[in-house]
Amino acid sequence: MNIRLLLNEKVSAAMVAAGLPEDTNPAVSNSTKPQFGDYQANGVMGAAKKLKTNPRELATKVVEQLDLDGIAEKIELAGPGFINIHLDKTWLANQLINVANDNKLAVSQRKTPQTVVVDYSAPNLAKEMHVGHLRSTIIGDAVVRALEFRGDKVIRQNHMGDWGTQFGMLLAHLNDKLASNEVAETALADLENFYREAKVRFDEEVGFADRARDYVVKLQGGDPQCATLWQQFIDISIAHSEEIYQKLNVSLTRGDIMGESSYNPDLSNVIDELMAQHIAVEDQGAKVVFINEMTNKDGEPSVFIVQKSGGGYLYSTTDLSACRYRVGKLNADRIIIFTDARQAQHFKQVEIVARKAGFLPDRITYDHCPFGMMMGDDGKPFKTRTGGTIKLAELLNEAISRASTLLKEKNPEYTEEQLDEISEKVGIGAVKFSDLSKNRTSDYIFNWKTMLSFEGATAPYLQYAYSRIQSIFRKAGVKSSEIISEFDISEPQEKALAMKLLQFEEVLDAVITDCTPNLLCNYLYELASLYMSFYEACPILRSDISNKVKNARLALCALIAETLKQGLEILGIEVMERM
RNA sequence: GCGCCUGUAGCUCAGCUGGAUAGAGUAAUCGGCUUCGAACCGAUUGGUCGGGGGUUCGAAUCCCUCCAGGCGUGCCA
């Protein structure tokens, strides 16, 4: 059920009946103020401008044709030509019954499901996951779950960085460690440190850099000893990532890993095809594509290198191969890639070349969803005082520990076990929500305080709303599933909640179309906030409340709890009976 | 130099297919627990929407320009 779409259709029909062209946009949206009704249609004014007629008169004609019998209780004409729609309370109550009786909360399912390939997380296996990896991982995961909830077929792809040039350096260093009888697990216990050691040797030690480069060539050539070393490295790195995913409640599994190395056998084919089609040409010893659609710093066509002068391949080659694989083998209808904004130009180039080469037919959408870098308080790229980055594991543990402290204060009666379980849900939820609720395509500022806050517009606020509802059911001595779905919308708080509940699908659609989970965060916060106001204003279990009203309010509570739970589940945030 | 992104309340951010009086959280101040959980609710204070032009009935939103910041711009990913 998408009310906005329904009203859009109705107003559109009225516009056509009033003599307007069929493609006129009704522009129905939520009303900006309560006195302007629940929804408003603004399209008449734009149409009037085009036709050079009086908007007010045109709006009158459209309203005459507008048939919202049973849906709206009042349609008003206001200002220069706004059409304000006040929805009918009985109609709203009936819609709520549909939501209550549907296990998908009446969110309509795709009639023709799409196959959507979603590329996200993609940690670099050379390093431990740090706070910068948070965004791609959790935004991607939220979009994935939203797509699945709507009925699309999703194929997760974790495009792990397991094949870069830096691996030569890491392998050389690991080899030396093993030669001096160290065990791989011990050597790699601290990935960050291991990487730093290798980098220092690479920069300073005579001969090491050359050995590192040899390792790259050997690795890409399939040398067995290299492959063994590489595999040890990869296994430990992956285990680390999986630990983080589990803690973060992210749905990625080992089966979703399709690292850069997976495309290695196909890279030469990609080059052959590009050469055969004369899309790529040789230039200064390298194989490149000149892209006329974009320009470089000299105003000439931008250069897209697909093979280095030494014969090596680059991430451009890998991404082209990945594109071909996703279209050809995975049958993608849509490809979504989450990376930071620095790669925006790269993916634009990949798309242009892939389309030209026929790897990516026009019917397939290719969405690169960029997001900004994390900055420090000073607006400069984020670093800790010691110059490093904050490890993701460290941030998560800190969040859990702070939640635990708070929880102990508020509920001293909890057992250790309960404490651990709840503080993990609260702490992780807080971190995820604070990141997911931002929609920054540009850079954003990392802030311990807001990231670890449990008050205001945070995950704990939403979890608290859910727990409060469960508390009411306990007190009433009924289960939410036993409540008869009958609604009585009389108080303003109840109407506001009914409206909000019925907008769940609208929000999900927007999240899926634009890959913006922050809209879902906003929505759930508003829902919880409306519930808190309702909670204060409308008593439920008090003795002077009639059974009819009591039941209706409990039914409303049940729907709110379900929607909160489902919405948070899409964000990968858990709810609990008590907190 | 060129390209992309960004500039909204003290701080962190929504809002951006042009719509009516620009919203939250936080911080500050005040009020509310003998009544369904105060991680809450209510109220007040706080804005030249970076500056300047333009388009029009109407601009935070679209266009131009300037300023500031971030990123990218041929052999890293």
Q: pLDDT tens digit string along A325-380?
A: 999 999 999 999 999 999 999 999 999 999 999 999 999 999 999 998 888 777 77
Is residue A418's beta carbon less than 7 angstroms from any atom in nucleic acid strand B? no
Question: Which nucleotide, over all strands, has the C1' atom closest to the CA of A299?
Answer: B2
Length of chain A equals 579
- Nearest protein residue, CA measured to C1' of B58: A80
Which residues, 6 or more positions from A277, have their beta carbon under 8 angstroms from its beta carbon? A356, A357, A358
pLDDT given at position A210: 86
Read off the tokens for A244: 């983080």
Q: CA A1 to CA A386: how far, in whole Å?
A: 53
Residue A311's pLDDT band (cuts 50, 70, 90): confident
Closest by CA position to A392, among listed A160, A128, A149, A148: A128
pLDDT given at position A94: 96
Is residue A132's beta carbon less than 7 angstroms from any atom in nucleic acid strand B? no
SS3 (DSSP) at A361: coil
To which residue do tokens 């030494």 refer?
A: A310
**Percent of chain A topping pLDDT 70:** 99
Nucleotides of B under 7 A from a protein CB: 1-7, 11-15, 17, 19-21, 24-27, 35-37, 39-42, 56-58, 69-77
Is residue A510's beta carbon less than 7 angstroms from any atom in nucleic acid strand B? no
Q: CB count, 10 Å around CB of A467?
A: 17
Mean pLDDT within A124-134: 86
SS3 (DSSP) at A124: strand
Which regions of A252-364 does DSSP assign to beta strands (E)? 281-283, 286-295, 301-307, 334-340
Residue A386's pLDDT band (cuts 50, 70, 90): low
Q: pLDDT for A219-269, tens place per residue?
A: 888 899 899 989 988 998 999 999 999 999 999 999 999 999 999 999 999
pLDDT given at position A299: 73
Q: CA A156 to CA A177: how far, in whole Å?
A: 35
Is residue A196's beta carbon less than 7 angstroms from any atom in nucleic acid strand B? no
pLDDT given at position A535: 97
Q: CA A180 to CA A159: how far, in whole Å?
A: 33
Mean pLDDT within A21-31: 91
pLDDT given at position A294: 85
pLDDT given at position A182: 86
Is residue A165's beta carbon less than 7 angstroms from any atom in nucleic acid strand B? yes
Question: Which nucleotide, over all strands, has the C1' atom closest to the CA of A164?
Answer: B77
Dihedral sign for Cα atoms in the order A514, A519, A523, A524? positive
Spatial distance from the CA of A335 to the C1' of B74 (Å): 27
| Cβ atoms of A92 and A499 closer than 8 Å | yes
Is residue A271's beta carbon less than 7 angstroms from any atom in nucleic acid strand B? no
pLDDT given at position A436: 95
Mean pLDDT within A432-444: 89
- φ/ψ of A339, rounded to 5, equals -145, 175
Burial status of residue A544 (CB atoms within 10 A of its CB: 0-12, 13-18, 19 or more):
exposed
Q: pLDDT for A469-511, tens place per residue?
A: 999 999 999 999 899 999 999 999 999 999 999 999 999 999 9
Residue A385's pLDDT band (cuts 50, 70, 90): low
Spatial distance from the CA of A280 to the C1' of B18 (Å): 44
Residue A11 scores a pLDDT above 90: yes
Residue A384's pLDDT band (cuts 50, 70, 90): low
Spatial distance from the CA of A381 to the C1' of B37 (Å): 42
Residue A199's pLDDT band (cuts 50, 70, 90): confident
pLDDT given at position A445: 84
Spatial distance from the CA of A380 to the C1' of B70 (Å): 8
| Cβ atoms of A407 and A419 closer than 8 Å | yes
pLDDT mean across residues, chain A: 92
- Nearest protein residue, CA measured to C1' of B13: A438
Q: pLDDT for A539-557, tens place per residue?
A: 999 988 999 999 999 999 9
- The residue ranking higher by pLDDT, A215 or A521, is A521
Residue A131's pLDDT band (cuts 50, 70, 90): confident
Is residue A30's beta carbon less than 7 angstroms from any atom in nucleic acid strand B? no
- Nearest protein residue, CA measured to C1' of B20: A79
The alpha carbon of A435 is separated from its chain's Cα centroid by a whole number of angstroms, namely 10
Instruction: Report which of residues 65-124 in chain A place their beta carbon less than 7 angstroms from any atom of strand B.
Output: 78-82, 84, 124
pLDDT given at position A387: 62
Spatial distance from the CA of A485 to the C1' of B24 (Å): 32
Spatial distance from the CA of A61 to the C1' of B6 (Å): 44
- Nearest protein residue, CA measured to C1' of B71: A342
pTM, full prediction: 0.95
pLDDT given at position A356: 96
Residue A407 scores a pLDDT above 90: yes
Spatial distance from the CA of A160 to the C1' of B40 (Å): 43
Residue A100's pLDDT band (cuts 50, 70, 90): very high
Q: CB count, 10 Å around CB of A293?
A: 10
Spatial distance from the CA of A373 to the C1' of B47 (Å): 27
pLDDT given at position A203: 84
Burial status of residue A379 (CB atoms within 10 A of its CB: 0-12, 13-18, 19 or more):
exposed
Q: What are the helix (H) ranges across A101-190?
A: 134-150, 166-179, 184-187
Is residue A318's beta carbon less than 7 angstroms from any atom in nucleic acid strand B? yes
Is residue A535's beta carbon less than 7 angstroms from any atom in nucleic acid strand B? yes
Is residue A247's beta carbon less than 7 angstroms from any atom in nucleic acid strand B? no
